[in-house]
Amino acid sequence: MNGLDVARELQALSPKHPLVLFALTGFGSVEDMSRSAETDFSRHLVKRVDPDMLIELLRGIGASRYAEKDAR
């Protein structure tokens, strides 16, 4: 199983509540990014990832999830 397969399986477990998944890979071609998008990865990150950028992405996830809960 590769990362794309794992992402498909994980997303299938929670169809009503899509997961936030990041592809972290050494492959950064247009085709690689397209495959990630087709597999419902939230972002395609190519190694070496800037730690500050990753922290900001994670903070954004937390903020959006709290906003969703408050809206209910």
Dist. CA 6–CA 22, nearest whole Å:
12
Mean pLDDT, the chain, whole residue set: 86
Place 16 in a pLDDT band, splitting at 50, 70 and 90: confident
Taking the model in full, what pTM does it have?
0.74
Write phi, then psi, for 15 (nearest 5 degrees). -65, -30
For the residues 25-42, what does the mean pLDDT come to?
Answer: 93
CA pair distance 52, 62, nearest whole angstrom: 15
Residues 27/46, Cβ–Cβ less than 8 Å: yes
Residue ranges covered by each domain of the chain? 3-71
pLDDT value for 47: 95
pLDDT the model gives residue 55: 92
Side chain identity, residue 24: L
